[in-house]
Chain A
Amino acid sequence: DSGVTQTPKHLITATGQRVTLRCSPRSGDLSVYWYQQSLDQGLQFLIQYYNGEERAKGNILERFSAQQFPDLHSELNLSSLELGDSALYFCASSDRTGPIGYTFGSGTRLTVV
């Protein structure tokens, strides 16, 4: 167990729907990062939050949004889903006190049918 918890582990939904993925960071970590991993595009950085504030944005679609709550857990909202959104979505956290690297959760596998 890495200490980063993601739920649900698997999600199957239809095109056009909206889903919410949840991430609880490792205890003490203030930063949360979201990544999308698909077969053809590798690991793509989506967005970072630090202590409730958005800090960096990567290749995140306008249909996607995220937030980090006061208890530091984060949610990634995906709307108007398309078949191409099927992927593994990872959350990672870090404590921003040194180059120790990220701690990743085990991911949510989203399948859009």
Chain B
Amino acid sequence: GDSVTQMEGPVTLSEEAFLTINCTYTATGYPSLFWYVQYPGEGLQLLLKATKADDKGSNKGFEATYRKETTSFHLEKGSVQVSDSAVYFCALSDNYGQNFVFGPGTRLSVLP
């Protein structure tokens, strides 16, 4: 079945450092890819998405590019802030936005 693999956390960075969280997937067909973020004590929020190969999703300074050839959707941010401390989930769905599969999540801690 479909699956999502994320880099193990926790990831600890200093403020203004560059962030990469790796995500790779296994899926039949052409899934849509997502990054969700969960801040402490809250539910998951959609951060960005990409629906086809070579699409780039971006939001709040975060970016991820749908790479079909490497089945990857790595999350990047050029300069992280303390407020970015959260758990980040990579996910995929079918083209109808259904049958979501979530990765295990990666906890990010940004130190001032």
Which residues of A approach B to under 8 Å, CB–CB? 2, 4, 31, 33, 42-43, 45, 56, 90, 92, 94-107
Contact = CB atoms under 8 A, between A and B. Distances in A.
Contacts, number: 60
Interface of B: 32, 34, 36, 42-46, 49, 51, 89, 91, 93-100, 102, 104-105
B51 to A, nearest CB: 5
B45 A99 contact: no
Contacts of B98: 31, 94, 96
A20 to B, nearest CB: 19
Contacts of A33: 100
Contacts of A96: 96-98
Contacts of B94: 99
A93 B77 CA distance: 28
Contacts of A101: 32, 34, 36, 46, 49, 91, 93, 97
> 8 tightest A-B contacts by CB?
A99-B32, A104-B43, A99-B97, A104-B44, A106-B43, A42-B104, A101-B46, A43-B102
Contact of B49 (A42, A94, A99): A99
A103 B47 CA distance: 11
